[in-house]
Amino acid sequence: MARNHFLHACFYTVFGLASHMAFAALQANTAGLTEPGDEWLNYGRDYTEQRYSPLETIDTNNVDKLGLAWSFTFPTNRVMESTPLVHKGVMYVTTSWSRVFAFNAKTGEALWEFNPEVPKEHLINSCCGPVNRGVALWTQNGETSVFVGSFDGRLIALNAETGEQRWSIRTTPENSHYTITGAPRVVDGKIIIGNGGAELGARGYVSAYSAENGELVWRFYTVPGDPAQAQESPALEKALSTWGGKWWTVGGGGGTVWDAMAYDPELDLLYIGTGNGSPWNRDIRSPGGGDNLYLSSIVALRPSSGEYVWHYQVTPKDSWDYTATQHLILAELNIDGQQLPVIMQAPKNGFFYVLDRRDGKLLSADAYAQVNWASHIDLETGRPVENPVADYNKTGGSLIWPAPFGAHNWQPMSYSQQTGLVYIPAQHAAGYYSKDEKFSFTKHRWNTGVDLWEMRSHADPVIAKATMDAIVRGYLTAWNPVTKEKEWEVEHPEASNGGVLSTQGGLVFQGTGRGEFRAYHADNGKQLWSFGTDSSVLASPMTYAIDGEQYVAVSQGAGGAIVLAVGRPRPQNSNNPNRLLVFKLDGTQTLPPVLASKAAVRNTYEPLNSASRELIAQGDKLYERNCATCHGGSANGSGVIPDLRMMSTKTQSEFVGIVLGGSKRHSGMVGFYETMDFAQTEAVHAYINHRAAVSLEEEEYSWWDQIRYWFWYYSARLGDAFPWLANALRDANMSP
């Protein structure tokens, strides 16, 4: 061990010297991105992506005086995942549909807006809504540009002063499943952009474009293509032997680079996180086995050329949607008496990884959440030791912790240099995985190879609610990456809460799914302040200072994968207003009122429940296959997009035209005439009306339902505490 570290130290020194000259040339441009001071210049603040600010005017003693300085209500009402950037007194923030807004960061005055006019029908390719997480900034020849990836696959450069478009290029193939939701990054005048789409079918890649004119500089594919063709890089030639079957025809392999990146200017390495396999089910994707490089991996690339340098595969043989696209953080940690440059990640699979970022050597990997797919990560081999329950193709179906939503998803975590802790917006949920026996690749649908109908919540609403309440929850987890232990934890009643910011004021900021924005003591998790919002706060907060005054900003808006899939109550009377909230000490502003609620207008329909059982059962399966990923499992609407149980009489009469003909194409609901016929549409219609009738009955539980609720609640709690028991009950058909 000691010898290894010595070699690392030598390597680091020699490499550091060799790259010093190139580094000096870069310094002028990258200075801001390594030391932003009062500003916030990159998605994760600076190149380390720590989301830790040295600002300390707002601290543990005065945070209770935090109040609203200004706010802005956006003309959108979908999920907000954007982190604002602040440079030279101007704030740049994005909304759903990839719209960009610029504000005077001190006064809140709106300066300009850019709308890339994303075709709404591209929504059919989304896993989780028309999300955007933010912009990148780069100054060249005295001119600052703002870069945004549009949902339909364009990379666009804007004049930072006026919002006028400088250039726009396509970075994904026309008419493909790819989407862009992540923020671009900039290294030495090159804009780095990835994309998503592995649920529907995609081959992952990341590209670099010239900031000046949008010319492609390099592209790195994360998985090999058809082996009959020459592969694009030596790294892919090497990866070929880890694949089997015809992955390029059944979903493209996956491994999309849809979110996390980080850059080390000293090592001149760009780190990317790659996504899940496409399809999820490894026996369908790569029959005959293999690790399937470079799925679910952290990969280090040379940012000038896109050349592969090293990789660490977080989840070999991924079969569970366990992406390694979650937030990557660079830090220097003192491990066994040595100061080491590390990269850290809490990917979906539930283990917290610390790697030496010079060569990808695994230093530690420990469970930060409940996990039953693997017993541990073997530090000798660097590989997980899978439990038999994980192989659902063999077991015939298993309850596996974590669920596809992950023990941690896109919500950014934060590393505090002050406490040495990593604050993880973690979550707790299990998923029932079983093989989709009838799998065939279908364009514009989820192609997972997992039976999502089996995975959906129980058809009985009482049992569904009881199990959801019992096993799905969220955490803010303070993880010590050196001692590999949890130091403290705050529990949230739901999964999917906000991203995290930590500051030198000793504070940790996080929003909640229920609709609160909170500050905690970074040492012990004590809640010190809270602000009631009128929608979920899922995006990450950021902080900046102007004229010596510190501000904390966050955007609000509900939605995203877990919310769309399982639905959940949002703050009362909420029409999901998308807002930007900016706080300062002694701020006195209040939120403007919400405009008339659409939900109230929609809920006028008296459902009929006269369809036959057979028709409803047929509609149930068709619904889960075609509609559930957007409109919610079991037709439990999230309130983010129309809840089908609340269709108006007008919508009822236009149902066939909407579903088959695509008459609401302009708002994102395309026609399904290619894959469904009239009779099937009628079955789905009958099923939705049946669900509407059942849901109305849910409002008041009879005494019998209450007994059933608590019975299933405690059964699920027991199964949650002992996953083997939950699986044994499942096998015996004795559980929800």
**DSSP string spanning 111-146?**
EEEE-----GGGGGG-SSSS-----EEEEETTEEEE
Q: Is 321 a catalytic residue?
A: yes
- CB nearer to Ca ion: give 32 or 275: 275
Q: Which residues contact 679 (CB under 8 A, 6 or more apart)?
A: none
**Per rule CB under 5 A, is residue 326 in the interface with Ca ion?**
no
Instruction: Candidates 16-24, 314-322, 345-353, 458-466: pick the segment binding Ca ion (CB under 5 A).
Output: 314-322
The least CB distance from residue 577 to Ca ion, in Å, is 28
- CB nearer to Ca ion: give 321 or 534: 321
- CB nearer to Ca ion: give 352 or 410: 410
- CB nearer to Ca ion: give 41 or 314: 314
- CB nearer to Ca ion: give 195 or 276: 276
Structure token digits, residue 695: 């849901």
The least CB distance from residue 565 to Ca ion, in Å, is 12
Exposure of 599 in the CB half-sphere (CA atoms within 13 A): 17
Exposure of 155 in the CB half-sphere (CA atoms within 13 A): 29
Helix, strand and coil content of the chain, in percent to the nearest 5, comes to: 25, 30, 45
The least CB distance from residue 441 to Ca ion, in Å, is 16
**Per rule CB under 5 A, is residue 533 in the interface with Ca ion?**
no
**Per rule CB under 5 A, is residue 318 in the interface with Ca ion?**
no
Residue 203: phi and psi, rounded to 5, are -105, 120
**Per rule CB under 5 A, is residue 321 in the interface with Ca ion?**
yes
What is the dihedral sign for C-alpha 360, 362, 364, 365? positive
**Per rule CB under 5 A, is residue 720 in the interface with Ca ion?**
no
**Per rule CB under 5 A, is residue 398 in the interface with Ca ion?**
no
Distance of CA 235 to the CA centre of its chain: 27
- In angstroms, the CA 197 to CA 254 distance is 8
Strand partners, 399: 432
Check residue 435 and report its DSSP letter: B
Judge whether 113 and 163 are in contact, CB under 8 Å: yes
- In angstroms, the CA 555 to CA 579 distance is 6
Distance of CA 27 to the CA centre of its chain: 32
- CB nearer to Ca ion: give 242 or 274: 274
The least CB distance from residue 7 to Ca ion, in Å, is 37
Q: Specify the DSSP element, H or E, that contains 676.
A: none
- In angstroms, the CA 8 to CA 336 distance is 14
For 606, counting Cβ atoms within 10 Å of its Cβ (0-12 exposed, 13-18 middle, 19+ buried), the class is exposed
Instruction: Candidates 272-280, 303-311, 370-378, 726-734: pick the segment binding Ca ion (CB under 5 A).
Output: 272-280
Spell out a b/e string for 370-387, using b for 16 or more CB atoms within 10 Å of the CB, else e.
bbbbbeebeeeebbbeeb
Distance of CA 259 to the CA centre of its chain: 7
Instruction: Candidates 274-282, 527-535, 637-645, 671-679: pick the segment binding Ca ion (CB under 5 A).
Output: 274-282
The least CB distance from residue 198 to Ca ion, in Å, is 5
Tally the residues of the chain.
736
Instruction: Candidates 161-169, 275-283, 472-480, 584-592: pick the segment binding Ca ion (CB under 5 A).
Output: 275-283
The least CB distance from residue 348 to Ca ion, in Å, is 8
Instruction: Candidates 22-30, 73-81, 321-329, 725-733: pick the segment binding Ca ion (CB under 5 A).
Output: 321-329
The least CB distance from residue 456 to Ca ion, in Å, is 17
The least CB distance from residue 150 to Ca ion, in Å, is 20
Instruction: Candidates 69-77, 170-178, 315-323, 691-699: pick the segment binding Ca ion (CB under 5 A).
Output: 315-323
- CB nearer to Ca ion: give 146 or 200: 200
Helices (H), strands (E): how many in the chain? 17, 39
The least CB distance from residue 592 to Ca ion, in Å, is 36
**Per rule CB under 5 A, is residue 276 in the interface with Ca ion?**
yes
- In angstroms, the CA 270 to CA 33 distance is 14
Residue type, 87: H
**Per rule CB under 5 A, is residue 172 in the interface with Ca ion?**
no
- CB nearer to Ca ion: give 149 or 254: 254
Judge whether 671 and 661 are in contact, CB under 8 Å: yes
- Which of 268, 321, 436, 620 is catalytic? The answer is 321
The least CB distance from residue 276 to Ca ion, in Å, is 4
The least CB distance from residue 12 to Ca ion, in Å, is 35
SS3 for 671-717 is CCCCCCCHHHHHHHHHHHHHHHHHHHHHCCCCHHHHHHHHHHHHHHH
Instruction: Candidates 167-175, 232-240, 271-279, 307-315: pick the segment binding Ca ion (CB under 5 A).
Output: 271-279
- CB nearer to Ca ion: give 276 or 576: 276
Judge whether 330 and 264 are in contact, CB under 8 Å: yes
Binding mask 10-49 for Ca ion (x = CB under 5 A): ----------------------------------------
Residue count, binding to Ca ion (CB under 5 A) = 2
Residue type, 192: I
- CB nearer to Ca ion: give 55 or 123: 123
The least CB distance from residue 380 to Ca ion, in Å, is 30
Instruction: Candidates 39-47, 212-220, 276-284, 350-358: pick the segment binding Ca ion (CB under 5 A).
Output: 276-284
- CB nearer to Ca ion: give 222 or 276: 276
Residues within window 341-360 making contact with Ca ion, judged by CB under 5 A: none
Judge whether 197 and 180 are in contact, CB under 8 Å: no
Strand partners, 584: 67
Structure token digits, residue 267: 């090592």
Distances in whole angstroms, Cα of residue 652 to Cα of each of 25, 612, 640 = 64, 18, 20
Binding mask 99-118 for Ca ion (x = CB under 5 A): --------------------
What is the dihedral sign for C-alpha 451, 457, 461, 463? positive
Distance of CA 402 to the CA centre of its chain: 15
- CB nearer to Ca ion: give 91 or 250: 250
- In angstroms, the CA 482 to CA 491 distance is 23
Catalytic residues: 321
Q: Which residues bind Ca ion (CB under 5 A)?
A: 276, 321
